[in-house]
Amino acid sequence: MIPQLSMKHPVLALLLVWALLAFVVFTTRSTVFLGSPGSKNQQQDTTSIWEQNPELCRNPQHQSLRNESDYNAALAAQSPVRMAKVSVLYGDVDATYERALRTHELHNRIHGLRGLVLREQVVDGVWNKPAYILSILAAELQKPATARLEWLLWVDGDTVVLNPCVPPARFLPPDHMRGTVESPINVVVSRDWNGLNNGIFLLRVSSWALELFAGVVGYRPLRPDETLTFNDQSAMERLLLEPRFAPAVAYVPQRWFNAYHAFQNETLAPERVRRGDFLVHFAGRPRRREEMEYWLAVAERHAPDWELEFYRTAYPDEIVAFWNAWYSDRNAALDM
């Protein structure tokens, strides 16, 4: 049963009812469009290929690590998370974007992620993104809690995975990784110089998320006088600032999973991609296709200096330091 929305927002509740009716039908249609054209079954075993073969993301040139146990111990300690990676790619087949999607498909196979890709336009333009997310949330919340997805990882189509050895579950708040149901965080996202950037983010499957994305989908008709500079992204940003949503948002360092393009000989700003990083995002780039081709060549080469084992990257220390500070600040605020 889908949790009911508060009747303090009757228009939003009515909108959600209509959205659910439309998107349950859409979800049924869209199952044939999951993954790349011609792909077969996208449903994956709960045991990831990485768990079955822990050597898959180990660089064979690192002979000195052959007998080390840290790598396998870290994998064993990681709590399994039912996660899907969600994206949109429709219209005429574009070879560059299909290549980018294939970098994600490899990453999905390694980490046991379910790949969900919208292959048909449902509404206008970029608003397909929140509409598709809303449809997935509605479908998942109808399932028993033990059978539904726990988190969604949204990725825009203009992203290229550079290091498939990075497990996205490691970006989640540590209380979730320990199995604590009462985690206060429902979305993990980053900001750039324009504010919120929702090109890549993690979203907990929950009634909270359902209400948020019903609000995003309905933002234009409900608030027609407001200007949305970045369309659905601006709508999501404004909603996340509201008191009912703001406490459940964690803004993490942009480079974790939303690093921006930089050529390898540049002096790197903090948000720019570097060796060992998960992916590169080409948001707002005027020469996007050229830059995507450049990084696709790097990704498809599977160079050992880019595809680092997770524990060899800067992530483990950065993640621990960030969440320790985040919870410390939160607890201090609660004590005031």
45 within a domain of the structure (yes/no): yes
Q: What is the pLDDT, as a whole number, of residue 41?
A: 41
Segment among 69-83, 132-146, 287-301 with least mean pLDDT: 69-83
3 within a domain of the structure (yes/no): no
* Average confidence score pLDDT of the chain: 79
Over residues 160-171, mean pLDDT: 93
Q: pLDDT tens digits, residue range 301-329?
A: 888 888 888 888 989 999 999 999 998 88
**Cα–Cα dist 161/106, whole Å:** 9
Q: pLDDT tens digits, residue range 131-155?
A: 999 999 999 999 999 999 999 999 9
79 within a domain of the structure (yes/no): yes
Annotate 76-108 with DSSP letters as a single string.
HHSPP--EEEEEE--SS--HHHHHHHHHHHHHH
List CB contacts of 300: < 8 A, sequence separation 6 or more: 99, 103
120 within a domain of the structure (yes/no): yes
Please tell me whether residue 204 adopts helix, strand or coil conformation: strand
65 within a domain of the structure (yes/no): no
Bigger pLDDT: 168 vs 192: 168
Q: What is the pLDDT, as a whole number, of residue 72?
A: 41
Q: Which domain holds residue 220?
A: 10-58+74-335
248 within a domain of the structure (yes/no): yes
227 within a domain of the structure (yes/no): yes
4 within a domain of the structure (yes/no): no
Over residues 206-212, mean pLDDT: 96
Q: What is the pLDDT, as a whole number, of residue 260?
A: 80
For the chain, the domain total comes to 1
Give the domain CATH number at 183. 3.90.550.10
How much is the pTM?
A: 0.79
